[in-house]
Amino acid sequence: MQFSFRMPVAVQVLLCIAKFDGVFKTTSTFLASSVNVNPVIIRKTLGQLKAAGLVEVAAGVGGAKLVKEPCDITLKEIFGAVEDDEDLFHIQEHPNPQCPVGRNIHKVLGDKLSVIKNHMLEDFANITLEDLLEDIHNAEQSR
């Protein structure tokens, strides 16, 4: 199974905004060069992050800025801003109701996947953008 790449892109965008604040204008073109995707994807991501109250975006070439401190932005918030967590795990919508496995798969597997998702979100709530900025700093120091 492969998860969406929206959250990792959003995290990278926020890390770039935090790291390069005051150094470079963090425009969609600049951010796209870090993520190595089309600026259109970055603009959509910035729109989602703005709607979630995590960034403000100046029109034109003004760039983006964090609305909160990195220590106050969690991976859970970022995930909620860009992912539809209802589709995190997708179980076949119409399994065979005549099969004992098919008719029970939503209840049996759905409950387990819900627990897994909740544990993941709890873990995400304990990791901040500041934690990741420190990890980037440490990775650069050990280079």
pLDDT digits (tens, 9 = 90+) for 95-132: 999 999 999 999 999 889 889 989 999 999 999 999 99
Q: How far is it, in rounded angstroms, from Cα 18 to Cα 73? A: 11
How is the chain split into domains, by residue range? 6-141
pLDDT score for 86? 62
Q: Which residue has the tokens 């179980």?
A: 91
What pTM was estimated for this model as a whole?
0.87
Per the CB < 8 A criterion, the answer to whether 136 and 19 are in contact is: yes
Instruction: Give the CATH number of domain 6-141; options: 1.25.40.340, 1.10.10.10, 1.25.40.10, 1.20.140.10.
Output: 1.10.10.10
The CB density around residue 139, as the number of other CB atoms within 10 Å, is 9
Per the CB < 8 A criterion, the answer to whether 50 and 56 are in contact is: yes
